[in-house]
Amino acid sequence: MRPSIKQVALEAGVSIATVSRLLNKPDSVSIDTASKVNRAIEALGFRPNFTGRNLREGRSHTVGVVVPTLSNTVFAQCLQGVEIAARQLDYSVMFTATEYRQQDEFAAVELLLAHRVDGVILTVADADASSTLDVLDRERIPYILVYNQPQQTARPSVSVDNRAAAYDAVIHLIKLGHTRIQMLAGQFHASDRALQRFHGYQQAMHEHGLQALTPIEVPRHTSAALSVAYLQTFRDPLQRPSALFCSNDLLALSAMRDLRALGLRVPDDVSVMGFDGIPLGDLMDPMLSSVAQPSEQIGEQALRALVRVIEEPQDGRAPATSQILPHTVRLGGSVRTFHSRS
């Protein structure tokens, strides 16, 4: 077995309390006992065992992260932000994915809680109706949502204003002369963000006297196989929208590929606008227009806010503050002005 403070104490000829003190508040131990102990630590290759400390302190200096998937760059970047900030604040990160299965959210959080993480950062399918979050609330476990932006409930979150961001994106298309704009989205039931973005789309359309079209909801996996079935209506130039607003960049990029497969050109035949602003969008040709959210920052801010709550001296009501980060409409060649065909 690996050495514990006990062996170190023995080796140094001091008590375990002294070793512990040296580790935690080095000032409280005399200069020469310190060096004695340090020598022993060195000699034994001692490494403190956090398990013991955690058990004793009732906390783990670890936060849990639960996101749908890492296949979407957005969540990978967010996790990256969380991890970087965590490292700075001396926290570790335990990570889990749900693969967009709402029923897995609960188990994921339960596991994290069994590990006694000090708090959790998560993205759920529906932040306003989540039994998982109910548990967290009930048990007063510090948590903070990322990407989710609860409407009915006062749950702490870090996100962009999804509705406003989508609104801005659609307005941009409208200003370019588009009138037939359709939305392409993942399954709404798996993403409340997508639904909020759809509301932003609707609002923009209505405010400009335009008809909101039925959104195209594509199942997961679509991006894997080249299935252009969902774009069949696009064959007819009179039928198809002149612009497609996609609820995320992955979808937008897939759509662009599928449109090409159909023989349609972007942006000449159809303009495409995404959401997320993933870095690779800039490397496309044409560059993907998108409304960008600062994913890494979202993760970073979430971690900082979470730690703030965790280390709150009073355990009274956690401030549960929500944060809206700014989005930016990023212009690329995937969108162009629309000139009426008549």
Partner DNA sequence: CTGAAAGCGCTAACAA
Partner DNA sequence: TTGTTAGCGCTTTCAG
Binding site for a copy of itself (CB under 8 A): 1-2, 45, 47-52, 54-55, 58, 60, 62, 69-71, 73, 76-77, 79-80, 83-84, 87, 92-97, 99, 110-116, 139, 223, 253-254, 256-257, 260, 279-280, 282-285
Interface with DNA, residue 110, by CB under 7 A? no
Dig out the tokens for 223 from the structure.
């991006």
Identify the three-state secondary structure at position 339. coil
Q: Output the smallest distance, CB 72 to a copy of itself, in A.
A: 9
Q: Which listed option, a copy of itself, DNA, none, makes contact with residue 92 (CB within 5 to 8 Å by class)?
A: a copy of itself
Dig out the tokens for 295 from the structure.
């994913």
Q: Which listed option, a copy of itself, DNA, none, makes contact with residue 23 (CB within 5 to 8 Å by class)?
A: DNA
Q: Output the smallest distance, CB 122 to a copy of itself, in A.
A: 14
First CA to last CA distance, the chain: 81
Closest CB to DNA among residues 18, 123: 18
Contact 130, 114 (CB under 8 A): no
Q: How far apart are CA 72 and CA 16, in angstroms?
A: 48
Q: Which listed option, DNA, a copy of itself, none, makes contact with residue 30 (CB within 5 to 8 Å by class)?
A: DNA
Identify the three-state secondary structure at position 197. helix
Interface with DNA, residue 29, by CB under 7 A? yes
Q: Output the smallest distance, CB 63 to DNA, in A.
A: 19
- Angle in degrees, CA 59, 65, 68, rounded to 5: 155
Q: Output the smallest distance, CB 283 to a copy of itself, in A.
A: 4
Q: How far apart are CA 112 and CA 119, in angstroms?
A: 9
Query: Contact region for DNA (CB under 7 A) — 6-14, 202-210, 249-257, 322-330?
Result: 6-14
Q: How far apart are CA 262 and CA 242, in angstroms?
A: 15
Whole-angstrom CA distances from 182 to 65, 147, 203, 333 are 34, 23, 13, 18
**Using CB under 7 A as the criterion, which residues of the chain lie in contact with DNA when the complex forms?**
1-2, 4-6, 13-21, 23-24, 27-30, 32-34, 48-49, 51-53, 55-58
